[in-house]
Every structure is written in C-alpha cells, then in structure tokens.
Amino acid sequence: MTASLSGQVVLVTGSTRGIGRASAEAAAALGATVAVHGRDLSQVEAVCGELGTDSVFPLAADFDDPDNAAGLVDQVVDRCGRIDGLVNNAGGGRPVALRGLDLDSWRATQRVNLEATFAASRAAYKVMRKARSGSIVNVASLAAHGPGAWMGADYAASKAGMVSLTRSLALEAARFGVRCNAVSPGFIETDMTVELTDDQRQRLRVPLGRLGSPAEVAACVTFLLSSESSYVTGQVLHVNGGLSMYG
C-alpha cells in the first residue's frame, strides 16, 4: 500500500519543529498542499523555505487565544477553498508537580493543548461535513493514558481530554464521512526530550530500547490522513516503542 495525499489541503498546527514539522513535510511529500503554522510568521516562513517545496504556505497564530485556532482553519479555507486534513499538533507543557501548579498555569495548558484543538476541529468539521469527507488527527501523548509522571497533571489532563474529544467527534462525524483519530507518541527526539540524560533514557525502559523520531510519528499521522485508513475512526494509535504494554 502506498499512501497518497495528492490534491488534498492539510493544516498542521505547531509545525515549525518536531513532530509537527515532520508531519507537514511528510504530507507535502505525499502530494498535499500544506499550511505550516507557528506563532511567529518570520519563523514559519523560514521553515517553509527550508522544506524546499512550493506546496507549503505559512500561517501564524497564537493559540493562547483558542479562537485563533478556528481563525486559522478559516484562513486555509479562504485561500484554498477547502480543507481535507487537520493535524492538531500545537501544544506544550513543562514538568511541574501538582503542588507547584496554580490555576492560571493549569488554564494556560488547557487553552493551548485542548481548547485550541476543540476550536480548530469544530471549524474544520463544519467544512468537512458539507464536503462529506475529511480527516482530523489529534496528536495526544502517552501521558493521556496514565498519571502525568513526566510532564505534570495539567499536561496529562489536556492530552486525556484530546483523546476523549477524538472519540466524541469521531462518533458524531462518522455518518458524514469525516474521520477523527489520534496518535499518542511516547518519548520522541524533540525539544521536550533533548535534556534527558543517558541514565534517564535507560530508566524509561522503552522495549525497543530507544526514543522515537518525529518522522516515525509523522508516518502514522499521514497514514491516518490518507485513504489507506478510510475505515479507521475513533482510534488512538500508540507510537511509543512498546511503552504502553506496561499498562
């Protein structure tokens, strides 16, 4: 099987680095027109230039205001006349113990990770529903399926919310030909893991014995965007080197 996104229009949020950038690059390589997103327009434009293809274009928005995520979808539709795929990848967090969290920090994490995902998904779903086709992929986390041992309770809760949102939207959207799935990466070689020491990496006990690459997650994202996964919806694809086997 060979996945293709030829003729498709895809928005990848948070796509100037890491998993988002790899997903944007992979989608473009499969023939999609891809909207690359970040907070700073000059940085997004630089990334688009580095990708070396005419099939990407830059968009900037700060998801600290979740309404901007919906506006981003509207910009894609205004420019391209459609949106066929949405990858909700934008997000972040930092390892803070629950006793060190305050309500403002909690809410900030939910705004960027969960509320922006809801806002973008809702806007895209309205367009996809009319077209009776489309695929939404939410980038969750291993943390969504257990305690926030590494990234904190705010991050884990936001990603668990993304998984729940995925399933709720998948059920509602299925009769309109719109699919919604999630990928839950484990420990991936990104900015969030670069500071892990060799000792910490060993203590992770990843069955495959290494951290994953952004490209490996992107391959799963593009599979879920493509027609190769046309009978898959409401699912969570774990990309964690086997860590989820521990429960």
Residues with active-site annotation:
155
Question: From CA 155, how far away is CA 149, in angstroms rounded?
Answer: 10
The answer to whether the Cα torsion of 118, 232, 34, 239 is positive or negative is positive
Which whole-number Å values give the CA distances from 216 to 63, 91, 147, 156, 212, in the listed order?
A: 26, 19, 24, 22, 7
Q: Helices (H), strands (E): how many in the chain?
A: 8, 7
Name which of 37, 27, 36 is nearest 7 in CA terms: 27
Beta-sheet strand order (sheet of 9-12): 56-60, 33-38, 9-12, 85-88, 134-139, 178-185, 236-239
Question: From CA 41, how far away is CA 21, in angstroms rounded?
Answer: 15
Question: From CA 211, how far away is CA 206, in angstroms rounded?
Answer: 8
Apex 211 CA angle, 205 and 217, nearest 5: 125
